[in-house]
């Protein structure tokens, strides 16, 4: 079974670019590790060096009673500023004092070999003179005085505290910049450097356009970008300018990043990839400096492509009321990006690709021609595209022979490419859990259910009474939607709890680009069918309809205030497609209009509710039969409804495949 355990890791993530290679004779980058190495070597050297020649401390009494009488001393030097005396032993006599030097060979020991400390009250002249006088002529030693300055020691003492502080500071910055331990990318020295990953021609794990299913128009657009870089002359000869950037816009999981990766795989030019949030750092000015660094690197490698994923992290519209919601650092970064994008000549061979699912909140300056000249919309896949995407993701899976991929594509309207990839993976995992040798259709259906509804929770404790309410509620949805011409076609109804829902009616929404008032009204009535059923059957209502009510309230408000579907309100839309008025401080209509909107919304909902109740009353016998069947079987399908109610009017057929 070929399934991968879901993981948050990005399998494509390449190792960070190491700074060392010098392909075109550029200088190696400065690496802070060298400072540490040099510092440590210096300290080790000093330690070894000092250790080899430093005198051994002994006591004055030993000198006076053993060394001096034996005539082993050549000279003693009184160091006046340090209160100690250095002892120079004759070379021939040194072997007698071997025990003071441990394992060291006495031949290598340099003079002075010993020293002893004297108190400040010690009258050196008199004491040494006395001993010297008592010695016979051959054993006499000379006496000198001198001053010593330990410059290295002093410098080290001075340096110790600042060095320690510097070390701690560096350590903290490495941690804060989050790059500690990353080869070639760590430390305060690189905090302003761009974090872009570089995919070169010979990068492994290449993704090609073959891995991107559907998205034909988007593919053509991005392929043209690749062509711009490969044959710029073809376009510039006619006087045209090569676009500077293209923005991929679309809902999450529709394959924008995948498309960019395919461009990287196909373009055969260096491809820098980074996310909008990579510019953001806690330090002021870092974002702007990273943008500069990114463009510097890109220009060095031109022709090349720079891909910025989730560009809304930096590209969000700059605020007009400075100080209140402004984020200076992000705005500086955006300003730098704007400058860089318009700052280089259009023929310099750097093309910026960016992806976002919030194009509405992007700064207008970023979107203008000359920066992102092209906007490529990547929408949720349609039936045929889903079929293609399934084919791509089923490639590595062991599925049963004669598997009907078209059926799967039909069962998954509204699914994004990422959802489809997830369905395939979940199906493999489900089949593996059941110890199957191939993945079957049912595994895929289970995977779809799981992705839409969440995990089945058969162990949830539900009383008999509650179960009855749920069954009638769901049967209410099913009956109304089945009998209304424009409602979505029903797929199945279940009263097995899943995720947070206690039961569900599953529909196969029609794939359409525009929706009519009738369709919206019929769907609202079907959604209210649950609550209507409870009221009719039990004469009391429950909290179970909250989700339904939330959905229809939103829908009714949208119909009245966005779609202009209320006669009394008229053809007016208060929808703000710019997304600028996020906080909704000012309503663009009067109190009177607000009242009218509320009134119209209530009317729409009331009419739909009455419609649902009417249908249920008219078909009470069939509706009860359905509810009892649901109680018995827990899951029923559209075929069962067909047996009870007869064929549905306007059953939507998928004719594309």
What is the Cα–Cα distance from 122 to 63, expressed in whole angstroms? Answer: 15
CB nearer to ligand ATP: give 192 or 214: 214
Other C-beta atoms lying within 10 Å of the C-beta of residue 215 = 28
Residue 594: alpha-carbon gap to chain centroid: 41
**Which listed range, 90-98, 252-260, 329-337, 474-482, lies at the site for ligand ATP (CB under 6 A)?**
252-260
Please select the residue that binds ligand ATP; options are 73, 294, 389, 399, rule is CB under 6 A. Answer: 389
Please select the residue that binds ligand ATP; options are 77, 113, 254, 527, rule is CB under 6 A. Answer: 254
CB nearer to ligand ATP: give 366 or 532: 366
**Residue 417 in the binding site for ligand ATP (CB under 6 A):** yes
CB nearer to ligand ATP: give 252 or 396: 252
Say how many residues touch ligand ATP, by CB under 6 A: 19
From the CB of 224, what's the least distance to ligand ATP, in Å? Answer: 18
What is the Cα–Cα distance from 609 to 615, expressed in whole angstroms? Answer: 10
What is the Cα–Cα distance from 601 to 571, expressed in whole angstroms? Answer: 15
> Is 474 among the residues known to form the active site?
yes
Q: How many residues make up the chain in this entry? A: 657
**Residue 215 in the binding site for ligand ATP (CB under 6 A):** yes
CB nearer to ligand ATP: give 358 or 436: 358
What is the Cα–Cα distance from 531 to 278, expressed in whole angstroms? Answer: 49
On whether the CB atoms of residues 483 and 516 are closer than 8 A, the answer is no
Q: Is the dihedral of CA 63, 64, 69, 71 positive or negative?
A: positive
CB nearer to ligand ATP: give 2 or 357: 357
Other C-beta atoms lying within 10 Å of the C-beta of residue 186 = 21
3-class secondary structure per residue, 372-430: CCEEEECCCCCHHHHHHHHHHHHCCCCECCCCCHHHHHHCCCCCCHHHHHHHHHHHHHH
User: What would the x/- binding string for ligand ATP be over residues 427 to 456, using CB under 6 A?
Assistant: ------------------------------
From the CB of 500, what's the least distance to ligand ATP, in Å? Answer: 23
Identify the CA nearest to 115 among candidates 74, 148, 78. 78
From the CB of 274, what's the least distance to ligand ATP, in Å? Answer: 13
On whether the CB atoms of residues 397 and 440 are closer than 8 A, the answer is no
CB nearer to ligand ATP: give 448 or 630: 448
What phi and psi, each to the nearest 5 degrees, are found at residue 642? -65, -40
Q: CA 78, 83, 87 angle in degrees (round to 5)?
A: 40
From the CB of 444, what's the least distance to ligand ATP, in Å? Answer: 16
Sites for ligand ATP among residues 338-357 (CB under 6 A): 355, 357
**Which listed range, 206-214, 405-413, 473-481, 619-627, lies at the site for ligand ATP (CB under 6 A)?**
206-214
**Residue 223 in the binding site for ligand ATP (CB under 6 A):** no
**Residue 257 in the binding site for ligand ATP (CB under 6 A):** yes
Please select the residue that binds ligand ATP; options are 63, 73, 213, 630, rule is CB under 6 A. Answer: 213
The three-state secondary structure class of 271 is strand
From the CB of 387, what's the least distance to ligand ATP, in Å? Answer: 11
**Residue 258 in the binding site for ligand ATP (CB under 6 A):** yes
Identify the CA nearest to 522 among candidates 605, 608, 600, 604. 608
What is the Cα–Cα distance from 59 to 267, expressed in whole angstroms? Answer: 81
Please select the residue that binds ligand ATP; options are 112, 186, 243, 253, rule is CB under 6 A. Answer: 253
Please select the residue that binds ligand ATP; options are 291, 306, 314, 392, rule is CB under 6 A. Answer: 392
**Residue 376 in the binding site for ligand ATP (CB under 6 A):** no
What is the Cα–Cα distance from 90 to 92, expressed in whole angstroms? Answer: 6
On whether the CB atoms of residues 269 and 304 are closer than 8 A, the answer is yes
The residue of the chain with the least Cβ separation from ligand ATP equals 417
Q: CA 93, 98, 100 angle in degrees (round to 5)?
A: 115
Q: Write the DSSP symbol of residue 244.
A: S
CB nearer to ligand ATP: give 378 or 493: 378
What is the Cα–Cα distance from 222 to 368, expressed in whole angstroms? Answer: 19
**Which listed range, 155-163, 207-215, 227-235, 329-337, lies at the site for ligand ATP (CB under 6 A)?**
207-215
**Which listed range, 40-48, 95-103, 249-257, 440-448, lies at the site for ligand ATP (CB under 6 A)?**
249-257
**Residue 418 in the binding site for ligand ATP (CB under 6 A):** yes
Please select the residue that binds ligand ATP; options are 174, 195, 244, 256, rule is CB under 6 A. Answer: 256
**Residue 214 in the binding site for ligand ATP (CB under 6 A):** yes
Specify burial of residue 479 (Cβ count, 10 A radius: 0-12, 13-18, 19+). Answer: buried
**Residue 265 in the binding site for ligand ATP (CB under 6 A):** no
Residues 6+ apart with CB under 8 A from 88: 73, 74, 75, 76, 77, 111, 112, 113
Specify burial of residue 34 (Cβ count, 10 A radius: 0-12, 13-18, 19+). Answer: exposed
**Residue 462 in the binding site for ligand ATP (CB under 6 A):** no
| Strands 304-309 vs 350-356: parallel, antiparallel or unpaired | parallel
Q: Write the DSSP symbol of residue 574.
A: -
On whether the CB atoms of residues 180 and 358 are closer than 8 A, the answer is no
**Residue 530 in the binding site for ligand ATP (CB under 6 A):** no
CB nearer to ligand ATP: give 212 or 242: 212
Q: Which of 474, 523, 534, 622 is the catalytic position? A: 474
What is the Cα–Cα distance from 143 to 67, expressed in whole angstroms? Answer: 15
**Residue 529 in the binding site for ligand ATP (CB under 6 A):** no
**Which listed range, 192-200, 211-219, 286-294, 468-476, lies at the site for ligand ATP (CB under 6 A)?**
211-219
On whether the CB atoms of residues 402 and 232 are closer than 8 A, the answer is no
**Residue 212 in the binding site for ligand ATP (CB under 6 A):** yes
CB nearer to ligand ATP: give 53 or 205: 205
**Residue 277 in the binding site for ligand ATP (CB under 6 A):** no
CB nearer to ligand ATP: give 357 or 542: 357
User: What would the x/- binding string for ligand ATP be over residues 535 to 574, using CB under 6 A?
Assistant: ----------------------------------------
CB nearer to ligand ATP: give 213 or 408: 213
Extended strands (E) in 215-293: 245-249, 271-275
From the CB of 395, what's the least distance to ligand ATP, in Å? Answer: 10
The binding site for ligand ATP (CB under 6 A) comprises: 212-215, 250, 252-258, 355, 357, 389, 392, 417-418, 421
**Catalytic residue numbers?**
474
């Amino acid at each position: 079974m070929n399934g991968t355990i879901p993981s948050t890791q990005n399998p494509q993530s390449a190792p960070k670019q190491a700074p060392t290679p010098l392909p075109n004779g550029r200088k190696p980058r400065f690496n802070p590790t060298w400072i540490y190495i040099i510092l440590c070597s210096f300290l080790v050297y000093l330690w070894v060096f000092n250790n080899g020649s430093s005198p051994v401390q002994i006591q004055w009494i030993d000198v006076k009673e053993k060394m001096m009488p034996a005539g082993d001393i050549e000279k003693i030097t009184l160091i006046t500023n340090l209160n100690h005396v250095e002892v120079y032993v004759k070379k021939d006599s040194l072997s007698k004092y071997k025990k003071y030097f441990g394992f060291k060979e006495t031949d290598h020991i340099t003079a002075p070999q010993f020293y002893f400390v004297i108190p400040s009250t010690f009258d050196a002249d008199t004491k040494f003179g006395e001993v010297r006088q008592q010695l016979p002529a051959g054993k006499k030693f000379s006496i000198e005085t001198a001053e010593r300055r330990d410059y290295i020691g002093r410098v080290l003492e001075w340096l110790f505290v600042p060095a320690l502080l510097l070390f701690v500071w560096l350590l903290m910055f490495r941690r804060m910049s989050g790059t500690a331990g990353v080869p070639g990318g760590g430390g305060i020295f690189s905090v302003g450097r761009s974090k872009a990953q570089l995919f070169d021609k010979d990068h492994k794990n290449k993704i090609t356009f073959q891995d991107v299913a559907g998205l034909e128009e988007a593919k053509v657009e991005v392929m043209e970008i690749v062509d711009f870089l490969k044959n710029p002359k073809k376009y510039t000869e006619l006087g045209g300018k090569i676009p500077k950037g293209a923005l991929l816009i679309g809902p999450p999981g529709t394959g924008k990043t995948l498309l960019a990766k395919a461009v990287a795989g196909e373009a055969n030019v260096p491809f820098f990839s980074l996310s909008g949030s990579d510019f953001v750092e806690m330090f002021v000015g870092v974002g702007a400096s990273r943008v500069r660094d990114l463009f510097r690197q890109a220009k060095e490698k031109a022709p090349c492509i720079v891909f910025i994923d989730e560009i809304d992290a930096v590209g969000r519209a700059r605020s007009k009321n400075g100080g209140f919601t402004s984020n200076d650092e992000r705005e500086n970064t955006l300003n730098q990006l704007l400058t860089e994008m318009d700052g280089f000549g259009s023929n310099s061979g750097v093309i910026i690709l960016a992806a976002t699912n919030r194009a509405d909140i992007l700064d207008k300056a970023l979107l203008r021609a000359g920066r992102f000249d092209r906007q490529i919309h990547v929408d949720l896949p349609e039936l045929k595209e889903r079929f293609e995407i399934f084919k791509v993701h089923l490639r590595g899976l062991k599925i049963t022979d004669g598997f009907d991929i078209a059926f799967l594509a039909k069962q998954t309207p509204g699914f994004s490419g990422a959802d489809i990839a997830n369905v395939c993976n979940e199906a493999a995992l489900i089949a593996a859990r059941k110890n199957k040798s191939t993945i079957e259709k049912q595994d895929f259906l289970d995977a779809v259910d799981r992705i839409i509804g969440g995990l089945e929770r058969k162990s949830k404790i539900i009383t008999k009474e509650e179960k009855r309410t749920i069954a009638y509620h769901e049967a209410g949805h099913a009956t109304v939607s089945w009998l209304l011409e424009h409602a979505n076609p029903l797929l199945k109804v279940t009263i097995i709890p899943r995720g947070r829902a206690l039961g569900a009616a599953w529909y196969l929404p029609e794939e359409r680009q525009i929706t009519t008032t009738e369709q919206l009204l019929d769907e609202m009535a079907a959604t209210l069918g649950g609550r209507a059923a409870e009221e009719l059957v039990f004469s009391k209502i429950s909290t179970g309809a909250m989700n339904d009510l939330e959905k229809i309230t939103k829908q009714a408000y949208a119909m009245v205030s966005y779609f202009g579907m209320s006669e009394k309100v008229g053809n007016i839309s208060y929808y703000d497609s710019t997304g600028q008025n996020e906080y909704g401080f000012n309503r663009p209509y009067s109190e009177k209009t607000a009242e009218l909107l509320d009134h119209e919304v209530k009317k729409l909902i009331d009419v739909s509710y009455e419609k649902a109740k009417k249908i249920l009353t008219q078909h009470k016998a069939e509706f009860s039969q359905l509810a009892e069947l649901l109680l018995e079987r827990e899951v029923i399908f559209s075929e069962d409804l067909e047996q009870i109610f007869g064929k549905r009017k306007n059953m939507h057929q998928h004719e594309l495949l």
